[in-house]
Amino acid sequence: MFPFDVILFDVGGVLLTNGWDRGERAAAVAHFGLDAAALETRHAAVMEAWECGEIDLNQYLDAAVFYEPRAFSHSEFFSFMIAQSQRLPHGALHILAELAESNPCMIGALNNEARETNEFRFGHFGLRRHFKVAFSSCYMGLRKPEPAIYRRALDILGCKPERVLFIDDREENVAGGLAAGMRAIQFTGADALQAALEELGVF
């Protein structure tokens, strides 16, 4: 019998580059001539609300960037933001595609992402054709590593925690999955993930 009923992937840091992390914000600072300290402070104040779907893109941008007049528009800034998303070098996209093609179990996402960047990334990189379910923070109203997001995902799935495998690059998120009873792998590269999946009997 296949060892898992569900395999859940994080997206940023496992399949793709991070959508809007510190490095991407630094690139925006350089490109648009922003005050780096102000952006980081203002981003931190509203980031969780945006990722949990409590505010939308325009509300986030108004708070973090457009609190004063700018020579560029919201749409120009968002275009720059999404352009930072790339396939992760040595990432697991090909592993995801192989698993989805063989269809041994349900494949899904468990990720922290704001709605607008999440929907762009899922569509642009073809993730929706691989995922049967998406426990994204913007849909769940919760973020990893909050214990409640793992519990809610398990409740929705309706399967035993030990029959769920979770793959994430961040140690604290992996720890959250393990605490919920899931099996979990910390992603450090495609080769190491392939070896770990073979050891678990996935391949």
- pLDDT truncated to tens, each residue of the chain (203 aa)? 899 999 999 999 999 999 899 999 999 999 999 999 999 999 999 999 999 999 999 999 999 999 999 999 999 999 999 999 999 999 999 999 999 999 999 999 999 999 999 999 999 999 999 999 999 999 999 999 999 999 999 999 999 999 999 999 999 999 999 999 999 999 999 999 999 999 999 99
* CA distance linking residue 188 with residue 92, whole number of Å: 10
Smallest Cα–Cα separation from 115: which of 83, 143, 137? 137
pTM given for the model: 0.96
Residues 187 and 92 in one domain: yes
1 lies in some domain: no
Domain boundary among 31, 49, 83: 83
Q: Are residues 124 and 187 in the same domain?
A: yes
Q: How does 32-51 read in b/e, with b if 16+ C-beta sit within 10 Å?
A: eebeeeebbebbeebbeebb
Q: Which residue type occupies 144?
A: K
Domain of 151, CATH number, reads 3.40.50.1000
Report how many domains make up the chain: 2
